[in-house]
Chains A and B, each alone.
Chain A
Amino acid sequence: GAVVSQHPSWVICKSGTSVKIECRSLDFQATTMFWYRQFPKQSLMLMATSNEGSKATYEQGVEKDKFLINHASLTLSTLTVTSAHPEDSSFYICSAGDNEQFFGPGTRLTVL
């Protein structure tokens, strides 16, 4: 199957800092990528749909100014958590694909 990578795989930061997470499709082009967040023992919650060359579409309740998404190329989307707070600590996962969705390995964010 296709490969999606994420970087970093885990990050620990202080409250108030910004964290950038990269999502790359390694062997295919993706005009659309999805960003999810998963809290412990809960399912994946869609945060936003990242569209190459245009603005991301955010789900209700997700602040676009806090979670900045940039999809500058067909193989890369970035999610920046700005001014991170402890409640932003979570497992962030991206996915891409035409029918079957391929998931990145996830980024575990811990905000102290």
Chain B
Amino acid sequence: RKEVEQDPGPFNVPEGATVAFNCTYSNSASQSFFWYRQDCRKEPKLLMSVYSSGNEDGRFTAQLNRASQYISLLIRDSKLSDSATYLCVVFASGTYKYIFGTGTRLKVLA
């Protein structure tokens, strides 16, 4: 089983739609969780950190479920510019490694 798993997609959604991605992780000792966005042929950029209480940043909402070991990202009112690959990243201080999921591709269609 992969340490961090994501549905690779692609998710094709119309503008204005709401879309949600899930990510599961296998290491119960994982401590920090992030969503990164990667555009084609570019480096990943932090979208948001994920906190236990859940957090929201504009149209983006992230949730963490430690019991079930998954995190989620919800995008409301999708824009064309949201088209990208969304990477789930998990960090465990014991191993001091950031482990990336394979990414979920999102295409927002006009």
Contact = CB atoms under 8 A, between A and B. Distances in A.
Interface stretch (B42-50, B57-65, B67-75): B42-50
B96 A43 contact: no
Contact of A46 (B32, B44, B46, B97): B97
Interface residues of B, number: 19
Please classify how large the interface on chain A is, using the bins under 10, 10 to 19, 20 to 34, 35 or more: 20 to 34
B102 A46 contact: no
Contacts of B101: 43
B43 A46 contact: no
Interface of B: 32, 34, 41-46, 49, 87, 89, 96-103
B44 A103 contact: yes
A103 B45 CA distance: 7
Interface of A: 1, 32, 34, 36, 42-46, 49, 91, 93, 95, 99-106, 108
Given A49-B97, A100-B49, A106 B102 contact: no
Interface SS of chain B: helix, strand, loop or mixed? Answer: strand
17 contacts: A1-B46, A32-B96, A34-B98, A42-B102, A43-B87, A43-B100, A43-B101, A46-B98, A46-B99, A46-B100, A93-B44, A101-B89, A101-B98, A102-B46, A103-B44, A106-B42, A108-B41
A43 B97 CA distance: 15
A91 B39 CA distance: 13
Contact of B34 (A32, A49, A93, A100): A100
